[in-house]
Structures are given as C-alpha cells and as structure tokens.
Chains A and B, each alone.
Chain A
Amino acid sequence: MIGRKRFGIRGKIFIGYLVIILCLVVSIIAVNNQVSSMQKERNYIINHDIEVHGLTNEIEKQVLDMENGQRGFILTDDESFLEPYNQAADDWKNNYNKLYDLISDNPSQQKRLQDIRDDINQWIQYTAEPSIQMKREGQDSDVLSFFRKDTARTKGVEDIRNQFDTFRTTEKGYTKERADKLDHQNDVLKTSLFVLLFLVVLISSAIAVFVSGSIVKTVKAVVRSIAAMSSNGDVSQRIHVKSRDEIRDLAEATNNLLSVVESREWLQSSTNEVVERYQGTSTIKVLGDKFITGIAHFTEASTGAIYIREGEGNKASYIKKGVYAAPMNSAGRESFKQGEGLIGQCAAEQRVMVVEDLPDDYQMIGTGLGEVHPRSLLMAPVMFENEVIAVLELASLGTFTQEHVELVENTTKTFGQTIDSVIRRMEVVRLLKESQAMTEELQAQSEELQTQSEELQMQSEELRMINEQLEQRSIEAEGKSAELQQAKVELEEKAKQLALSSRYKSEFLANMSHELRTPLNSILILSEMLAENSAKGLSSEDEEFARVIHSSGQDLLNLINDILDLSKVEAGKLEMHFSEVNMSELPSQLERNFGHMADKKGLTFEVKKDIDVPDIFYTDEKRFQQIIKNLLSNAFKFTEKGRVSLHIAKDKALHPEVGADHWLKVSVKDTGIGIPKDKHDLIFEAFQQGDGATVRKYGGTGLGLSICLEFVKLLGGQLDLESEEGEGSTFTLYIPSLPNGLMKSEPLLPFNETESEVAATIMDDSAIEEVKESEDDIVRGQELISVKENDSSFKGKKVLIVDDDHRNIFALKTALENEQMNVITAENGTACLEMLEHENDVDIILMDIMMPVMDGYETMRIIRAEKSMADIPIIALTAKAMKSDREKCLEAGASDYISKPLKIEQLFSVMRVWILNK
C-alpha cells in the first residue's frame, strides 16, 4: 500500500454517482429559473391586459349611459333619466385615471387615451349639458333645433366609441405580442431541457463505463487466472493484480489459499505415494522397509528405522523391522522397550518428537565417500486403537519442516491400521495353513470312519443271519442258564456264609486268645512267685509243682500267642512296626538263647555273620526275632544229632521294586529228619507237620512255620526251603531293610521313602551323591543342569511344584526358572490346594506322591473333583515307576508320570507335551 494511494471500488462508485447528482441539480435549478420567469410573464398578461380591457369597456359603457340618460330626459323630461347620467359623469374619471396608470409603460396608448378624454369632456360640455339646460328651461324647440343643427355633434359619441375600439384593438395587439413571446420562451425551455437530459445521460454513461470497467477488468483477470489454474490443475501459479483495491485483496487471499492448498496437495500426494508403496505387502519386514524408505524419501531424511511392537503389556518391546540407509557401523538399536531412551519415551508419550542441533558425535550417516553428521532427528509413534504399535525414527542432514512432521503424522495414522492388518493377515495365513492341514487330516479320518461304517453295515447283514441262528441256541441255553443261575445264587450264599464264619472264627480266636491271656498272666506270675518260694513256706515238692504250673502256663501262653498271631494275620489285624535293629548284637543274643538247648540235646550250634552285613537294619524287630527263633526252635526240635547253624549274609536285592536299603539272607541249617519234597508246600500251612507220626513223636502245634511265613510276607521278605528227607533242612529267609516300612495297601511292594526322596533331586545320576551330602552341594549340582536356549513354550508359564523335600524344590525351581518359567511351590497337598485357590492361572503341576499331611493321590483327586481344574496337567513324580504306583496315579487323575530320579531332559519333554495346549 506504499506509494500510490488506495482507490477502492467504493470510492469509484461514490464519485461516479456524485458527479451525476451534481449534473442533475444544476439542470433542475436552470429549468426552475426558466419556468418561474415564464410564470411571471403569463401572470402579467393575465392581470394587466384583462384590467386594461375591463376599464376600457367600463369607460365606454359610462359614456353610453350618459348619452342614454341625456336622451331619455330630453324625450320624457323625466328627471329620473338623469340619474345614470350623473352617476356615469361622476365615475368615469376614476376609471380613466386607473387606466391611465395601467398603461403608463406605453406612451402611445396614453396619448390615445388622452384624446378619448378630451372628446368625452367636449361631448359633455358642448352637447349634453346645453341640451339638458334647454329642456329644463322648456325650450323644446330649441332642443329640436339643437339636435338638428347639431347632428354633426351627435356624431361625437360615435367617435368616442370608435376611438375606444381602436384603443382596444391596439391593446389586443400588445397582448398577442406578449403571448407569442411567451410561446417562444416555452419552446426554448423545452429544447434546453432535452439538451440537459442528453448531457446528464452522457456523463452518467461515461462514469458508469469507467467505474465498471476498472472493476470488471481486474475481476476478469482474477477469474482468468483461477480458470487457468482449475483447467490444468496447476496450483503452483499465482494471481497478479496491479490495482490497489479489494480485488487485489481477493487475489492475495486467493494466493494464500493456493499456497495452503498446494502444501495440502503435496501432503496428500506424498501420503498417498507412501501408502501406495507399502500396499499389498504381506510380511512385516517388507512392510517396514517399504514404509521407512517411502517416508524417508519424502521427508528428505538421510537415514531412518522403524520399530514394530512385539508382545503385549509390560513385556512389549519394539523390534527393528525396517531401515533406510542403515548406518554403516550398524550401531542403531535392534530393539527397545517402552520408556527406554528418547525413542522409548516417544512411544510412552505417544507424540512426535523432533530433536534439532544434534551434537557432532552423534551417529554418522555413511555415504560412498565418507560420513556426515545428521542435524536433526524425528521420532514418531504409530498408533492403532490408542496404542503405540510401532515407532519410527528419521535422521536428516537438514531440518524437518512442519510439512514433514505433518506428513509423518498423516502417514502414521493409516500405517498403524496397515501394520495391524498385515500382522493379522500373517496370523490368518498361518492359521489357514494349520486349518488346511487339519482339514486334510480330518478328511482322511472321516474317510476311514465312513469306510469302517460301510464295512460294518455289510458285516451287520451277515451278523444278522448269524444272530438268528444264535437266537435259537440262546433260547435253549436260557433254560440251562436259569438253572445255573439258581445254583450260582445258592453257591454265592454259601460262600458268603463261609467267609463270614471264617471271619468270625478269626475274630473269635483273636478275642479268645486275648481273653485267655489275661487269667493266664496271673497264673504265671503267681506260679513263678510260688516257685521262688521266697517265704520258704512250701515244701520242695510244692516248689516243683509250682515250677511245673509255671512252665505249663508258659507253654500255654506261647501256644496262645501263636494262635493269636496267626489269627491276627488272617484277620488282617497284625501291624508291623519298622524300626532300627542292631545286627551286631543278634549273634550273641541267639547264642545265649539257644546255647543251653544245644547243650541239652548235644548238638553243635553255630552262628555266623558276614563282615559286610551292615550294623543297622530296618525291620520289625520283634517279628524278625520271632521268625528266627521259630526257625531255630524248629531246627532244634527236629534234630537229634549233628548241628544247627545260622548264617547271616548281605544279599542282592530279591525284589528291587520294594526299594530297600539292602537285603539280608538268613539261613538256618540243620541235620535233622528233613522234609520230604512232596510235603514242602504243606508244612507252611497252619496246623500241619510232616506227617501224623511226626506229631506224635515231636509234639507241637504246627503253627510255627505258617506264622513265620506270614510274618516274612508282612516284612516284605521271602522264605525258601531246601530239604531232603533224612538229610536235614535249610530254611533261608530273605528280608529287606525298610526304613519307612511297607506301603499299607501294598504289603508286597514296599516304598523306600528316604532314599527315593533324596534321589528325586533332579540331576544327573552322578550328582545325586553330592546332593545327599549337603545343601551347598546342591548349589554345585545346579551347574550340572544344562541351561537350554530360550524355550518359547516354557517362557512365562506358571508351574506349581508340590514336594515336601526342600532340596528337591530348590533344585527343580532353579532348573525351571532357568527356562524362564514362573515357579511357585507348595510343601504338601493341603498347601497345594490352598495355593490353587488363589493362583488360578497355573499351567502345569509337578506333584510328588509321598508327602505328609496330604499325599499326592489325595491331592490329585481333590484337584480333579474341582471343575475349574479338571483339565490342568498334573505330572506325578513317582519314586520308582512301579506298576501299582502308576495305576494309582492315573486313577487319582495324573496326566502323566515320571519316575525319580528325574532326568531333566525327560522332564522337559513331558512338560512340553502337556503344556502345549495351555
């Protein structure tokens, strides 16, 4: 606006109108003047001329009135005729004076009027007055002669009238002259009006043409520019306007608009091109590369990388998936987590960050010839559903403009969606492949099923025929079956009664023996007191009787005890109490007990114990000794001469599955009467001896061996017999050392807890010994556990270890935590159930079986009864993969089992199998 003054459209129009209005005002004033002068002229004609004519006529009339009055009087002599005469003679001079004044502007007319006055005065003076005088004086004849003589004079009134006519005619001529002049003026006015109108029109048109021209020209120029732009779509052109008016404003505003549109268009087209570049890609890596290349190209960045999120929640990390002009030393990060570094912060804050003026030591951008430093950085999050799904970073040698930032913001908006859809597509492709494979498998399976069902149908037809034949036979059989049924029912009833009576018998015997012992006890004590004869009140004979009573009572007690033991065994009431037995004392003890018997019968008695027999042995001491005593008593009883020897040795495991510490072999050998081969089985039956004769000869109840056998079974051992008739017998007892006793329900399959528990520590076999020794060694043992590479199927899974042995838990926990599993532990079944109540996302349970408070079986049963946990995989850790253990495990609901000592690779394999679907 500097320089020429601004001359706007409003000013132009205003001035145009002003000129036109001025012209109009001037012309109206001129016309008005003209019209008012014409008005004056006309008024003059109307007033002056009419008055002149009126006065003229008035005077003429007064003259005529005077003549008429004069003549009337003369004729009639009536004075009343003289009245108008006198009147007129008085008035006419007034009128004359008026008229004279009126025509003062016209001297010729005044002269003529003076002539008329003179004539009137003459007529009055010389005609009228004398005639009237004569009449009055009665001089009628004179009057007549007067008139006769004065005929010429009577012509006086005629002359006056003629003079008046002339005066009037002249006056009319003046009036006409004036009217003509007025007409002429009128014509002039008309003409000048037209001329004025024409001039105003001319000026107005000229102004209109100028003003509109100056407006329209510039507008047209603008329109031409806009049309040109819109026709070729080129928004880079600009409108140029020379005028300093609103159009220029319009043009400038339009130019601004164009600039904005141009930058928008650039943004839009760049966005589109970037989007087009990555369209149709199906893998994240390619997508990332294409995207970053595109965006770097448009933002003139020199290097860039895109990081795409993997994982969810806290574990999400951003992995580099695409680079543009990767740094030569590839110092860029491969991944980062949210909040890690500036780029992590960008992801956390979910906003674009631009860093300018990077320090000189910032990472170089490599070119073929060397390296340059970037000047600025741009980091932008890629959003999808309000989450940062990826982050991109660009580095530029220049600076990033607002447009660049907008471009990045624009493209990232849609890119999030694309990343998500590509990820989903990849997932879909993977699932599709899987489902295709499954479909094929299903097809094959259904094929087989169909085929089978067809085959079945064919078979069923044949079966139907066979059935018909069978039906016939079955009708026949039915009759027999009814009979059999009857018999079976009867038999069952009998069997029941038998079982019942047998149980009654055992129970009766057990009760009876007990009842018998109580009184016998007092007999024994009292008889012993008697035999001691401390009061010296008895004779030696009485003393002997008392001793007999005592020894008989003792025999009876032994017998009752035997019966009691046997019946208890049979009734299943006998319990074994496993405890430490000191083997070093056993030989001397036996020698003490049986030495005198050997001496009495003259037999040699030998007790031999091998050096390698451990001192400590775990069994039920009482029953163990009872067995050995029974065997020895038996040997002594049936041996008349020769020797009885007992040999204790360590033996190899007879039944390895019982898991004993070690086994002992105790042989009792005699040189007695021996047992015939065909009686070998028989002698272990209750109340049996070799034959009837033997009974008579040796006495005894025959209960000893059968009790021994039952005890041996209860202790988990075995009793063998080797004998020839007349050659002596050898009873060999094999017995395990069981620190924890036998499993109640599985008397023949004992379970050695201590050993197996320790052995369960999961390590290589060589490591087991170390673990046994100390806790420190466990730490050392862990180093033996092979640390595998990241195992994705275990990562983050929750495993619950249930075991009462802390060393086991410690070792297992360490191994599983190495696999990045989430390990929780419970010490027993109850603790496990409590834990499961608030840990409902456990993926797998490792369950020890032998635990205090609540064992593994019970725990598994309760877990399985719980609906929500019916599917949770449970791996049972059994001491030894014993058949019965396994079956119990499965019955209790274990998914799989694995035997101790655990092999780590095997444990992992099993866990992989069962963790799969979780």
Chain B
Amino acid sequence: MLLPANVFAISPKEIMAKSEAAFYYQGRDFKARMIMKLISAGGQERTRELTMLRKNYGPPGGNQKYFIYFFQPADVKDMTFMVYKYPDRDSDRWLFIPALNMVRRIAAQDKRSSFVGSDFSYEDVSGRNVNDDTHSLVREEKLGARDCYVVKSTPKAGDVEYSYKLSWVDKADFLPMKEEYYDRRGELYKVFTADEVKNVKGFPTITKRTMKNIQSGHRTEVSFTKADYNIGLPDNIFSERFLKQPPRRWID
C-alpha cells in the first residue's frame, strides 16, 4: 500500500458539515407544519402546533431566516416569531404579541435556551455552527438497518450545558439518526432520535423526532403534518408586516 487508507475517507468535520446541510439547509426554502408534544415524566401532555417557514441566504452553514406561526395552545394562537440566523454571531429575534398588536425584539444570547418550553433548544431547531466544536470519528456502526458514522463533537467554548455530543450520522443521506448529549459530569442526559424519515420532493426529511431528557424523564415529540421544499417563499414574508398579519397562504 502506497497510500494510507484514510486519504479518500471523509473527515469527521466534513461528516458534521454534510449532516448540518442535510438536516438544516435542504432546499432553497422549507415549510413544515408540526405538532410538538411536551410530555412530563408523569405523563402530562402539553401541545404546541406551529408552522415553520425557513429560507436560506447563502450556502449550507450560512445565513437563514425563520418565521414561526403558532396555532396552539389557545393563549399563543396567532403569535408569530421571527429569527434572522447568522452562524457567527447572535441571531436577531422578534416576537409578535397579538393581544397588544406589538412586535418586540427579544434578547437572544443563549442559543441553548429551550424553544417554547420544549426539550429542544434554539440550536436544536435551527442548527449549531460546525466550527464551534471539535469533531472526532469514534467508530462506524449499524443503527438498525442504517450504516452510521459515530462522531463525537466537543464544544470549544465552555458556554454550553453539555460536555460533548455523540451523533449517529447516516452514511447515505447524512441525517442524524440519534444524538446523545453528555453532561459536565460525563453522564448521559439528553437523547435525540429520528423516528421517521420520509422523502419529500427528493429530500430525505426527518418527519418524526424525539428529544428526551434522561435525567428528568421529560420528553418532546415532534411530528410534521405537512412538509414541503422550494415553495418560492418571498423575502418580504420575513418582515414586521407579516409578523402582524401572518400570511395565510404560507402558514396553513
């Protein structure tokens, strides 16, 4: 052998960059209507139903805009939420409160904050900059029927609540099939699972997912009731005007 075996192999960082592209950046734009169930250890359920619109501005890993409209619960119906995501700095976030007809910027320093009280963080919803972690390939193994890379990602800065994450990334479509988050004591505390993958307009899409907090027993299940790509979302949707008057054509 003249060449080392790993010359043609993909690097762990490339795996995670491809995974980010497959999970958070597919298509020029994306729309999903979803039901999010927050389930306590005791079995009490709370339901959020929302539509998320996303549009890419630049290549995978680049800027994005998100628009979220809430159908349920009743006390947040018609509430809208908008994020301009920048990979290298804090996002801009706006919230519209219908009862006051008021649009407000909201402070957004902590990307690990819970998204609407769920077990998903803002980063889990809109992605984490691949450059914020160091990545190493732990092993390659089958998860169910899928061949996966198992990548360990360790945050470079100590500003997150976990010490490292293991990701099972499908070798074929690069979607994360499972993630394990380990806390600062090295103990497993959160597990993400992709429970259903469907092909939507040629894009493999995780249409059911769960994030479970192992330590508290609380979990959040998300299922997409509608999903679509490249629907031609206009730029002006991501504006104060449409926060106040949610565009029915795009959110139903």
**Do A and B originate from a single complex?**
no
